[in-house]
Amino acid sequence: MYKIGAVGDKDSILAFKSIGIEVHPVTDEKEARTTVDRLAEENYGLIFVTEHVAQNIEDTIERYKKKLIPAIILIPSNQGTLGMGMDDINKNVEKAVGSNIFANSDK
């Protein structure tokens, strides 16, 4: 059975603990890379990573996008969103459907 984890600054991911998701607070880029790699090796099927952490470890995140497991989902931090997670969703929907069904029709 796969586990679920969350990686990011402590304030952004602590709430995940209340619903049974293991939280892994990180404070710098090196610790973030090491944590994501360790979770991927330890049978985690889903890893939530805050966008503010992900922007500093894009090469690590990209490496796991090519693999089925673990799925890495970018989430906003308590500082707000950078739009990275929604961009990923839009790209995947466009790839699957053939067009971006979420595109803003006002443009």
- At 21-71, the pLDDT tens digits run 999 999 999 999 999 999 999 999 999 999 999 999 999 999 988 888 898
Domains annotated for the chain, with CATH where assigned, are 3-75 (3.40.50.10580)
Distance from C-alpha of 51 to C-alpha of 45, rounded to nearest angstrom: 19
- At 65-98, the pLDDT tens digits run 888 889 888 888 877 666 665 677 666 665 656 6
Q: What is the DSSP letter of 14?
A: G
Residue 70: is the preceding peptide bond cis (ω within 30°)?
A: yes
Strand partners, 99: none
pTM of the model: 0.78
Instruction: Locate 90 and state its tokens.
Output: 């839009």
